[in-house]
Chain A
Amino acid sequence: MRTMTYRDALREAIREEMLRDERVFIMGEDIAGYGGTYAVTKGLFEEFGEKRVRDTPLAEEVITGVAIGAALGGLRPILELMTINFSLLASDLLVNSAAKMRYMFGGQPAVPFVVRMPSGGGAQRAAQHSQLFETWYAHIPGLKVVMPATPYDVKGMLKSAVRDPDPVLFIEHELLYNIKGEVPDEGVEYTIPLNLGEVKRSGSDVTIITFSRMVHVSLQAAEDLAKEGIEAEVIDLRSIRPIDIDLLVDSVKKTNRVVIAEEGWKYYGTGQGLAALIYEHAFDYMDAPIQHVTGADVPMPYSKALERAAIPKKSDIVDAVKAIVPSALVRR
């Protein structure tokens, strides 16, 4: 095992897949000469050249269409959209074409491509650049939406995404690129399926369901809770669609309590969808209502102070857990 950043793990996955398969190429705005807005693709242009590492005009709609068309034409494109906020300009192609071409053409075409894009707030980028839209895309049948949280997962899942025969929206987080974690040594080939969540910490008293950056916040909250005698199970969804509902239900059966922690907005979002699924599949195992920790229901403010207040913190998760865990479990 090595310790490396999320960014480096990501780059390594892209590079390995490009070396493995001639059909794999990466395209996007400022990914070649500039090295990527978040420096994920740094060095790839020098290694692979313009054919396979291609800068595009600032035209999200056409470059997304090109990725789809290239996939239809037999290639395995990786498209980097500069941020998920810009994906709205491409969302017609993602939702109206990529997601449904296979179905509406009776199972004939496959659209195997990956759209990589960072999301999330916390870097004072204000309202238009701090959003999470996995909820929007995860609503759509025909798409896969994954949000790995660790260097290990991001590498294994990107490799799976490139090899996946369906469109995969691969959502990163701006504040995760620099986090470090263990990744198997170079040359150790591994992939992580795109339909499985993972128990990142096991516990018996409450299940914290989370994904992306909130996994780390939840793990810190779990450590704090443990000091007070509450053992929280932290489940990293990793994939938003498909959702590993079996994993969630099994955990709920054990802990009987659920806190969902996500950075995005509360209403009609991922967490609310999960809550409905849990009630549907595990109602008889619930000993308390599901608690939901989310970002504030406002456009993201710029001010550091306001932004901090808008993004869920460790203490929010701790409080949500304590609201449903019997106080007998809380050490005094």
Chain B
Amino acid sequence: MKKVEMPKMGDSMEEGRILRWIKKEGEEVKKGEMLAEVETDKVNIEIEAFAGGVLRKILVPEGNSAPVGAEIALIGAPGEPLPDYLGANGAEAGSQRQGSLASPTQSSPLQTQSAQPYKVDLLARSSVGLSPEPTSGTTTIKRQDRIFISPLARRLADENHLDYATLQGTGPNGRIIKMDIEAALSQQQSAVSPLVEPVTPLIAPQVFPPVSAAIDSGEVIEIPLTTMRRAIARRLSQSMQTAPHFYVTSVIDTDKLAAFRQQINEYAANDPAPVKVSFNDLIVKAVAKALVRMPQVNISFAEDRLLQKKQVHIGIAVAVEQGLIVPVLRNADQRGILDIARETQRLAEATREGKLRPEEFSGGTFTVSNLGMYDVDSFTAVINPPESAILAVGSITPTPVVVDGQVVVRNRMKVTLSSDHRAIDGVTAARFLQEVKRLLEEPFGLVL
């Protein structure tokens, strides 16, 4: 035999009055069905059966009150005997019980407040009970996993109206952190306005290996994309798909350049701020000078027009774990060689430390990519949009050459210029490369 008790309908409720028994004694009751209507101090509500069976006994007749928790009815099997305490005349005993318990309770002002919302809750619950609930599987509720995001990252995303749900977090446990938001924002910016200066970087400088677990599914290991990898993929595909690349290669004799470099370094070692100049610094200097002389290479293709840049900002591709970043040496044409060397070293360091400021990896007008240190004879590079050209520099290698009819060994390097044919023609590219070659083979031109 299951007891039905006067329910507590709100914190302040102490007793309730039965307005109406919806079920009659002897009637079958299903779990969840409405049993009776009860009046509390402020609201009238229906109460449901928490057990199924037959309503065997009503202990509190209509119109009578009972305190919260008091038995008001019994539900059981049809033949189940009633408890002894009810005796032959259960209703009488029950009414005695309720009579002794039902004392008027003082209502406090708070009850008004607490009772009202409770009614709403209860009705909502009863409607669920009445309409059959869809069985699981018939509806496709997309389960939204909790997104791990740092408080700071969430705030930044919210402030910039960025939906971070699709971002791949690169923090511990795959947590989305500030860097991820910044990277996403810089991508978003470039996607929205690709032609607006300053040009957005190839990719944001924040790089680090994905912490989210790689999935080993037998033959392949699935590695989730980092933000950086995603950016590289998107930007460079866009470049190859939209910019018709063509390539011009030249071989540059570097013996004089090497001697020149040695002289500079002897000088620079005794400079108040000593610095070591690399071949790449000299190449950057040469490119910058060549761009000043041939501004038609310092250019962007902008669909309905060409944008020729007045400033020469050279991007220098720097490899980092998981990708590459192109910090920008601003106003390279106006810098002396030592200055270029210093600034380049600083940028490279900042790049590896992930500390580039936005203006330090955006706004480039031409890029130099040097794989010489990796024993690469030559290679072609993908243009870094919206720039129109990129110079790929190979290793310096001793090469037998014929000079004045004699076979001699000279140090040479191959450089390959990739150009966007929409903006630059073959002859322009060739002449530009020729100018670079001239400057590197007669390096005094770099300082004159």
Contact = CB atoms under 8 A, between A and B. Distances in A.
Touch A–B, Cβ below 8 Å: yes
Interface string A195-207: 0000000001000
B197 interface: no
B150 A287 contact: yes
B206 A284 contact: no
Given A328-B320, A331-B352, A287 B177 contact: yes
A9 to B, nearest CB: 37
Given A326-B206, A326-B208, A332-B352, A286 B320 contact: no
A230 B349 CA distance: 12
Interface in B409-447: none
Contacts of B170: 326
B382 interface: no
B285 interface: no
Give the residue among B205, B209, B352, B354 with the most A Cβ atoms within 10 A. Answer: B354
Interface string A310-332: 00000000000001101111011
B154 to A, nearest CB: 8
A288 B352 contact: no
Contacts of B320: 328
Interface residues of A, number: 18
A286 B177 CA distance: 9
A256 B355 contact: no
A331 B352 CA distance: 6
Contacts of A230: 353
A332 B209 CA distance: 12
Contacts of A283: 151
Interface of B: prevailing SS: loop
Interface string B197-213: 00000000111110000
A229 interface: yes
A106 B155 CA distance: 45
Contacts of B209: 327
Given A288-B172, A323-B172, A329 B153 contact: no
A60 to B, nearest CB: 45
B151 A284 contact: yes
A229 B353 contact: yes
A287 B153 CA distance: 6
Interface in B129-182: 150-153, 155, 170-172, 175, 177-179
Given A287-B150, A288-B171, A328 B155 contact: no
B152 A287 contact: yes
Interface string B341-357: 00000000100111100
A138 B294 CA distance: 71
A286 B151 contact: yes
B373 to A, nearest CB: 16
A230 B209 CA distance: 17
A285 interface: yes
Give the residue among B179, B207, B321, B353 with the most A Cβ atoms within 10 A. Answer: B353
Contacts of A204: 355
B207 A328 contact: yes
Q: How large is the interface on B (under 10, 10 to 19, 20 to 34, 35 or more residues)?
A: 20 to 34
Interface of A: prevailing SS: loop
Contact of B353 (A284, A287, A323, A329): A329
Nearest to B205: A328
Nearest to B353: A229
A203 to B, nearest CB: 11
A231 to B, nearest CB: 9
B179 A328 contact: yes
A286 B353 contact: no
Given A229-B353, A331-B352, A326 B177 contact: yes
Contact of A284 (B155, B175, B321, B349): B155
A331 B178 CA distance: 19
Contacts of A332: 321, 352
A326 B207 CA distance: 8
Contacts of A326: 170-171, 177, 179, 206, 208, 354
Contacts of A329: 353-355
B229 to A, nearest CB: 13
A328 B152 contact: no
B357 to A, nearest CB: 12
Contacts of A331: 352-353
Give the residue among B152, B170, B172, B178 with the most A Cβ atoms within 10 A. Answer: B152
Contacts of A256: 150, 152, 178
A102 B150 CA distance: 44
Interface string A233-257: 0000000000000000000000010
17 contacts: A283-B151, A286-B151, A286-B152, A287-B151, A287-B153, A288-B150, A288-B171, A324-B172, A326-B177, A326-B179, A326-B354, A327-B208, A327-B209, A328-B179, A328-B354, A331-B352, A332-B321
Given A256-B178, A286-B150, A326-B208, 13 more contacts: A229-B349, A283-B151, A284-B152, A285-B152, A286-B151, A287-B150, A288-B172, A326-B354, A328-B205, A328-B208, A328-B353, A329-B353, A329-B354
The 4 closest A-B pairs by CB, nearest first: A328-B354, A229-B353, A327-B208, A328-B208
Interface of B: 150-153, 155, 170-172, 175, 177-179, 205-209, 320-321, 349, 352-355
